[in-house]
Chains A and B, each alone.
Chain A
């Protein structure tokens, strides 16, 4: 089975608020983590990644936090906009040849 999972399948957030999407992983050997955004009818698109030698990384309006102690990953989106509506996937690589995806969280933006 998959070692990467998500706490909530659906998340509804008010426009302008911050969104936090969570992800749990079970393989302590994983050393690379990545977030993708998938809009309806499209392929996944890269958002941000982080390696295990870091615990935080920031991009434009997005921040990824990695807590290796509890094997938890989160994606924070600041000032959520309607265009942020999508399914978000976390994925991990354990140093081997495969990438394992979580099942995804759907983010709904409320007006």
Chain B
């Protein structure tokens, strides 16, 4: 089954404690991206990757890092989480930027 898998689905952490949210896709897609979703603000792109070892900033990259060492995986790293990063996060993948994207189920992160 074609899918994008994120883990964990829910996470509560404390300020400053490094965390990683994993994302994996099984469709051999080249384009992957991370979004955060906040009430009234819709989906905002954090980082994206055009292919292996190619990553770039989206609209809200501050406080986040990503890596793309393999085509299927695109982890999101918060080196020092802060309460303003409390949000719902989605990973997505597609063949190219201008084709249909498949989204993961989301990760609800709370930073206290």
- Determine if A43 and B97 form an interchain contact, defined as CB atoms under 8 angstroms apart: no
- Determine if B104 and A97 form an interchain contact, defined as CB atoms under 8 angstroms apart: no
Q: Knowing A45-B103, A49-B100, say if A99 contacts B42 (CB, 8 Å).
A: no
B12 within 8 A of A: no
Q: Interface size for chain B: under 10, 10 to 19, 20 to 34, or 35 or more residues?
A: 20 to 34
Most A Cβ at <10 Å: residue of B41, B43, B58: B43
Contact stretch, chosen from B14-22, B44-52, B65-73, B75-83 = B44-52
- Determine if A98 and B58 form an interchain contact, defined as CB atoms under 8 angstroms apart: yes
- Determine if A97 and B56 form an interchain contact, defined as CB atoms under 8 angstroms apart: yes
Residue of B nearest to A97 (CB): B97
Contact stretch, chosen from A14-22, A67-75, A76-84, A101-109 = A101-109
Min CB distance, B85 to chain A, in Å?
19
Residues of A within 8 Å of B103, CB to CB, are 36, 43-45
Docked CA distance A96–B59 (Å): 13
- Determine if A2 and B58 form an interchain contact, defined as CB atoms under 8 angstroms apart: no
Residue of B nearest to A9 (CB): B40
Residue of A nearest to B57 (CB): A98
24 A/B residue pairs, CB under 8 Å, sorted by A: A2-B42, A2-B44, A31-B98, A44-B43, A44-B90, A44-B92, A44-B101, A44-B103, A46-B100, A49-B100, A89-B42, A89-B43, A93-B97, A95-B98, A97-B50, A97-B56, A97-B97, A98-B48, A99-B97, A99-B101, A101-B42, A102-B42, A103-B40, A103-B42
